[in-house]
Amino acid sequence: MDKNSKKFLLELLNTPSPSGYENDIQRKWMSYVKNFADRVETDIGGNAIAILNPGAKMKVLLAGHCDEIGFIINRIDDNGFIYFGPVGGISHKIASGLKVEILGEKEKIKGVIGVNAEHHGGLKEKFEYEDLYIDCGFKDRKEALKKVRTGDFAVYYTEPMELFNGKISSKGLDDKTGCFIVAEVIKKLSGKKFNAGVYSVSTTSEEIGLQGAYFAAAGIEPSMAIVCDVTFATDYPGVNTSKYGEYKIGGGPVLAKGSPINKKINSLLFKAAEEIKCDVQIELTPKITGTDADRIRFTNRGVPVALVSLPLRYMHSPVETASYSDIEKTIDLICRFILSLTGKENFKPLE
């Protein structure tokens, strides 16, 4: 990964973007891709869209969501302690004792999620969100209200960290790696000749119901779509691989197979992988994918979809971990797929 691309990825990871608070990261995404795209635009859902070859009859939608899981402030008590609930599937079980950043209207406020000392009995065995609170050091409710309001968002306060053997750990790899990948496809294809229009979209609010994906597909009316997301790696202690399968970070992109996935698109993806000698892994999605693909495929008259995922350890935690090599291989795979299109492909299963 070149220096500028890695800098862009780290910038995305360092920009808070809980579902419903994506404007800052979208502006940074658009500022980056405008250097490579033929056109950059937005829509009513807050999606950011970079387009190459807009005059082509075949439209390929590439979607990766920019939103991350987080918290939302729901109460401030008389002593200035701040209570909160989840935005997306963020577990309360790992929250106690961690640093957070509240995204206030005028400024970002640092705080910690308090934890009862073991000397005083520690955290009780069974607890819920209402048992947790954020301590920003305020002396009372009046002082807190000068900085924080009900409805403000918050995220874990962490920084990305590089590990051995080309691995990166950070909050928000789900799915800022996806919106990074679709941007890098635009960068890599810029200036090349190919037969399809490419519409790379950094989608919004995936974590709370795949909302941005609907607006993107409805507006673009694509001929087909590839969703770039993450999936569960199972290559660490304590995972039942007999139940959840074997997926390794560093093992290459993961292609989905199942009822929601268009077999013709998948066939072309597997062919592209062979051509560039890219190892791929396979996951089964017999009913739904749990990604933007589920919403995209039901827009307009229907959209044939495929799903290319990045294997990810410790999903929905502050220490999600992925491999740089998997990210680069995913970019190469999608680029090869697009360059191989004739523009006349028919993705109807029976034709």
Residue 206 is among the residues annotated as catalytic for this protein: yes
Q: How many C-beta atoms lie closer than 10 Å to residue 283's C-beta?
A: 18
Helix (H, G, I), strand (E, B) or coil at 99: strand
User: Is the CB of residue 66 less than 8 Å from the CB of residue 17?
Assistant: yes
Q: How many C-beta atoms lie closer than 10 Å to residue 191's C-beta?
A: 8
Find the catalytic residue in 22, 206, 207, 320: 206
Query: Quick one: which H or E segment has residue 183?
Result: helix 173-189
Query: Quick one: which H or E segment has residue 281?
Result: strand 281-284
Dump the DSSP string for 135-170.
E---SSHHHHTTT--TT-EEEE----EEETTTEEEE
In angstroms, the CA 221 to CA 250 distance is 34
Mapping DSSP onto H, E and C, the string for 197-229 reads: EEEEEEECCCCCCCHHHHHHHHHHCCCEEEEEE
In angstroms, the CA 211 to CA 206 distance is 6
AA identity, residue 212: G
User: Is the CB of residue 218 less than 8 Å from the CB of residue 201?
Assistant: no
CB-based burial of residue 22 (10 Å sphere; 0-12 exposed, 13-18 middle, 19+ buried)?
buried
Catalytic residues: 206
